[in-house]
């Protein structure tokens, strides 16, 4: 069954849900899934709806045009697209391949529906893994001396690929602040720590030294503030007293794969709504 996804975020007011659902009904849309949440503290409304496409009495562009005046009146951020669309996702990597390999498997198996126009790395290590999937691989080394021009080249590749989303699959370089701002809520990162604890580098080593009983990983949107972007998904695992630092690395990588895959799935399915530095996630 083909579906159309409506995602909306706006100031709260009485009758909002009824107004939106009545609009959909007027155009023949049958709602198959509805998620709604109102943040009472900020008086802000969030909703995600799945509409049975074949019941609509118009084309999608006509539905968008018809909804635009309502969206403007409600001061809303909103999107309306077919659920079957396959967004273009550029993957960014360094030398660790566990997250990349997991995403490639989920992409190849059809578990996650997206296109991969290219993979970009700052090392050549993972080229064979990518090219055996017939995906273009670009190696752009980044150093203190060439950092500015390297990221200009990287962003140019994103634009040439018409990327809808960029995923930092353990890409171990800090993005420039201006790129984070231009690509706000369109760069997904996996941090190998249960944020806000142990930001930055070597979190497993510091977690082991601290003697923590839980470690985890955090999938979040990249922002100019390092490892402080809106959190989408987190995964944790229990640590025992006999676990070594290498055990924490092994357990942590499992967390990273799961958190990143789920965060990407929620983003692709329009289940993530961002306001400020917080997210509302309508999980499936």
Cβ(281)–Cβ(268) below 8 Å? no
CA distances from 31 to 6, 38, 63, 67, 210 (A): 10, 20, 15, 16, 50
Cβ(189)–Cβ(197) below 8 Å? no
Question: Average pLDDT of 232-256?
Answer: 88
For 212-234, write each residue's pLDDT tens digit. Answer: 777 889 999 999 998 889 999 99
Whole-model pTM? 0.92
The terminus-to-terminus CA distance of the chain in angstroms comes to: 17
For 39-67, write each residue's pLDDT tens digit. Answer: 999 999 999 999 999 999 999 999 999 99
The architecture (CATH level 2) of 89-281 comes to: 3-Layer(aba) Sandwich (3.40)
Q: Is the pLDDT confidence value at 269 over 90?
A: yes
Given 1.10.10.10, 3.30.70.260, 3.40.605.10, 3.40.50.300, which CATH number is that of 3-82?
Answer: 3.30.70.260
Instruction: Please say if 227 is a catalytic residue.
Output: yes
Cβ(51)–Cβ(29) below 8 Å? yes
Question: Average pLDDT of 120-136?
Answer: 97
Q: Which of 42, 124, 227, 247 is catalytic?
A: 227
pLDDT, residue 205, reads 77
Query: Which tokens in the block code for residue 53?
Result: 């496409």
Domains of the chain, residue spans: 3-82, 89-281
């Amino acid at each position: 069954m083909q579906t159309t996804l409506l995602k909306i975020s706006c100031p709260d007011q009485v009758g909002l849900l009824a107004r939106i659902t009545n609009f959909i009904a007027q155009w023949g849309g049958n709602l198959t899934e509805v998620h709604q949440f109102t943040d009472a503290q900020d008086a802000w409304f969030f909703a995600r709806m799945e509409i049975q496409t074949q019941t609509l009495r118009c084309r999608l562009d006509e539905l968008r045009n018809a909804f635009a005046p309502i969206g403007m009146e409600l001061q809303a951020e909103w999107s309306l697209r077919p659920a079957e669309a396959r967004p273009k996702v550029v993957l960014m990597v360094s030398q660790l391949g566990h997250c990349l390999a997991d995403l490639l498997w989920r992409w190849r198996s059809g578990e996650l529906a997206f296109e991969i126009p290219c993979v970009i790395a700052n090392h050549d290590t993972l080229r064979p893994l990518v090219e055996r999937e017939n995906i273009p691989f670009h190696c752009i080394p980044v150093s203190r001396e060439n950092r500015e021009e390297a990221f200009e080249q990287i962003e140019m590749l994103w634009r040439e690929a018409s990327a809808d989303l960029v995923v930092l699959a353990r890409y171990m370089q800090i993005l420039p602040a201006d790129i984070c701002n231009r690509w706000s809520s369109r760069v997904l990162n996996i941090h190998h720590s249960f944020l806000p604890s142990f930001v930055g580098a070597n979190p497993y080593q510091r977690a082991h030294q601290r003697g923590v009983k839980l470690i985890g990983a955090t999938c979040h949107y990249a922002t100019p503030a390092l490892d402080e972007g809106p959190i989408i998904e987190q995964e944790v695992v229990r640590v025992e007293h006999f676990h070594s630092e290498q055990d924490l690395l092994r357990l942590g990588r499992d967390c990273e794969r799961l958190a990143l895959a789920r965060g990407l799935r929620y983003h692709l399915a329009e289940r993530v709504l961002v306001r400020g530095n917080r997210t509302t996630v309508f999980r499936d």
